Chains A and B, each alone.
Chain A
Amino acid sequence: MTGIDTSAISGISAFAGIPDAELSELLGIADEIEIGAGERLFAEDEPADAFYVILSGGVDLSCRTPRAEARLLGHSGTGAALGETSLLVDGLHSASARATEPTRLLRFATTRFKEMLDASSMPAFRLVLNLARTLAARLRAANDKLAELASNPATPAAEDDLDRLRKIFFADWGL
């Protein structure tokens, strides 16, 4: 339980269109947490067992490249949702989240949320619908980006040029 008023979350897209009474029901399974600047919220490859909403503050999201270099993916601020896919599928966090300033969040434990779904809770269904819309929009943007990369001749695979260099200088004109 939290002492959070529904007005604190009604403007957040994950809760859009959910009536106040149902928001209160959802807030009933949430915990309010606070982390300090530099503190880690969760780490890449850890089990994803909760969904978070940032009430104030902000976190950096990063992941490791195949060469184990840290790469910053982006920054999430007030109103952003984190780890939402954990409500839908079991798995690991695909990125790490670290607070860049003192940050307050709502934590929705996956297990408790699934219990609401099992109980055919309307607010849980509405939240899932909102998450589905968000994820569908992200998928569409990713598809558009892929199509753009595939059709842009200025960015061919780097391997192509080296293969061609070898062919020209050794096979064609190796003399």
Chain B
Amino acid sequence: MSLLASAQVYFDRAARVMGLDDRIRAMLVNPEREVLVNITIERDNGQLATYTGYRVQHNSARGPMKGGLRYHPQVDLDEVIGLASLMTWKNAVIDLPFGGAKGGISCDPKTMSSAELERLTRKFVQKIHDVIGPQLDIPAPDVNTNATVMAWIMSEYSKIHGFNPAVVTGKPVELHGSAGREEATGLGVVHVTEEALSDANRTIAESTFVIQGFGNVGSNTARALHTRGGKVIAASDVTGAIFNPEGLDVPALLDHARKRIPLAEFPVGERATNQDILSMRCDVLIPAALEDVFDAPMAEKVQASLVVEAANGPTLPEGHDVFARRGITVVPDILANAGGVSVSYLEWVQNLQHVTWSIDQVYTHLSSKMKTSYRSVVGLARERNLDLRTAAYIIAIGRVGRAAVLQGV
């Protein structure tokens, strides 16, 4: 089952609890606009190549639509539609004044030069510039896109519409990007983890952590946990895992990872597999890499009392049900990893006002956003006896639904 199929199940469960019928579901599920463009560029070797690009704008009831732009050979319209709707719920659950969107270009960036990617990006903007904009739809980095790609988008859009940095977020800090964007998702994960632990009368400093995945999110989560006194006892990347019951040397591990050396080659600690660390005894398990990690058998083996979903879609519905039966608290992805889009929002706010905030200002806003959102989800879950995931979806759907109704649908 794909991430999108799982998300569909979770949405449907929440919709059933709320009593939404098919006609109301149709209003909430179908995207407002699906844009498909074909982009032809000249490759460096002089040959022409044509790529298909998509931008799907799912729902604008709560504000301009926001979501990433990914470059990947498997990008297709169905995937982009599903991801766009997930952005609507994610933006709503943390109460950003945004609707949801997503985009992508079906290409293999690993086989393309930087110059080719720039030509592709600029031409894509030329074809969709009239449906994006600071008050309309604001792209952001996603799979295989980064601050440089966002800079090209801003540059091309500004050629047509005049200087307009707020058209895109995740830009380089030197080009109207925001301080704190890089580490935002990991930091957000740590904020909700801190809140969830405090509900169990614990602190980060008293707890042990296992992190699956050591990319941007996993490594920044490890760093923020370490600075708060948390003990990260295991971490993994695609090559394997490293384990130390006394706690890994996180700064050394971050240094190691920065040099792009496989984690399994880290000199201190025991080797383990990705699977091993998921069933290790620890307080908090943080999947920060892959989707579909927890099916029912895997969820049965987990020994942590708290799972914080830093990755998108790590838990399958059957795994979710096992966690619920076993009383393991799961902070769902749409809440836990929303720190990235939260700082994207802060970048947009700064751009609109032509101001630059200090990193402390950004961190303060991010912390407040994540903690407030976590509290509202937990509050509803307790009041209506729901799991956190269902509560998060209900809060998101409710906010979008009310915004739609107040505008006359």
Interface residues in chain A, defined as those with a beta carbon under 8 Å from any beta carbon in chain B: 161-162, 164-166, 168-170, 172-175
The 7 listed contacts between A and B (C-beta, < 8 Å) are A162-B409, A165-B401, A165-B405, A165-B409, A166-B405, A169-B401, A172-B18
Q: Which 8 A-B pairs have the closest CB atoms?
A: A169-B401, A173-B398, A169-B402, A165-B405, A169-B405, A173-B18, A169-B398, A168-B19
Q: Is B380 an interface residue (CB 8 A)?
A: yes
Q: Is B23 an interface residue (CB 8 A)?
A: yes
Interface residues in chain B, defined as those with a beta carbon under 8 Å from any beta carbon in chain A: 18-21, 23-24, 376, 380, 394-395, 398, 401-402, 404-405, 409
Q: Which of B24, B380, B394 contacts A165 (CB 8 A)?
A: B24
A172 to B24, CA, bound (A): 15
Q: Is the interface of B mostly helix, strand, loop or mixed?
A: helix
Contact B394 A173 (CB under 8 A): yes
Q: Which of B20, B376, B409 contacts A168 (CB 8 A)?
A: B20
The minimal Cβ–Cβ distance linking B254 to chain A, given in whole angstroms, is 40
Residues of chain A within 8 A (CB-CB) of B402 are 169-170, 174
Contact A164 B24 (CB under 8 A): yes
Contact A168 B24 (CB under 8 A): yes
Contact A161 B18 (CB under 8 A): no
Residues of chain A within 8 A (CB-CB) of B405 are 162, 165-166, 169-170
Contact B380 A168 (CB under 8 A): no
Contact B395 A168 (CB under 8 A): no
A174 to B380, CA, bound (A): 11
A175 to B20, CA, bound (A): 16
- Closest-by-CB residue of A relative to B401 is A169
A78 to B394, CA, bound (A): 62
Residues of chain B within 8 A (CB-CB) of A173 are 18, 394, 398, 401
Residues of chain B within 8 A (CB-CB) of A172 are 18-19
The minimal Cβ–Cβ distance linking A169 to chain B, given in whole angstroms, is 4
Residues of chain B within 8 A (CB-CB) of A166 are 405
The minimal Cβ–Cβ distance linking B62 to chain A, given in whole angstroms, is 13
Most buried by B among A161, A165, A174: A165
A175 to B405, CA, bound (A): 15
Most buried by B among A161, A162, A165, A169: A169
Q: Which of B19, B21, B395, B404 contacts A175 (CB 8 A)?
A: B395
Residues of chain B within 8 A (CB-CB) of A169 are 398, 401-402, 405
Known: A161-B23, A168-B19. A175 touches B398 (CB 8 A): yes
A162 to B24, CA, bound (A): 9
